[in-house]
Amino acid sequence: MTQLTGQLRTDDDIVHLTVPADGGYLGVLRTATAGLAARLQFALDEIEDLRIAVDEACAMLLAIATRDAELDCRFAVTDDALTVEVTVPTVRGAQLPAESSFAWKVLTALTTSASAHAADGRASISLLTRRGSGY
């Protein structure tokens, strides 16, 4: 998996949430995202952009998730950035949308950077947003 923030430091805060891979639980992840971004004193529009990006990333993963899967979400909080990595087990032969797709355009427009990785029956999307990044 690609780590967008570079090396994690021992003083970084890590929050890990696991919810059923069902759209009804995405509100939990959106709320956690907003709370952590607010803790970093992100501007209100940055918080909303990140909430939308997390929702879009999760929707992409839910489309290829196995039945009864769990969505793992890892938040890495640094001094000026929030990295959100969402991972799910995938059905055989599943592929993430192409980087030229509308979904990826949304992710890259709303975050500082985004990346994806799929291998060994799991797919993950990582989103990095820096405070005041001016993206």
* pLDDT tens digits, one per residue of 37-63: 999 999 999 999 999 999 999 999 999
At the top level of CATH, the class of 13-130 is: alpha beta
Query: Once rounded to an integer, what is the mean pLDDT over residues 90-101?
Result: 89
Give the per-residue pLDDT at 125. 97
Task: Tell me the whole-structure pTM to 2 decimals.
Answer: 0.86
CA nearest to 46, candidates 126, 117, 111? 111
| Domain map (residue ranges) of the chain | 13-130
CA nearest to 40, candidates 134, 129, 135? 129
Give the per-residue pLDDT at 12. 64
- 93 or 7: whose pLDDT is higher? 93
* pLDDT tens digits, one per residue of 25-43: 999 999 999 999 999 999 9
The first and second tokens of residue 41, run together, are: 């004193």
Give the per-residue pLDDT at 2. 35
CA nearest to 39, candidates 5, 74, 80, 85? 80
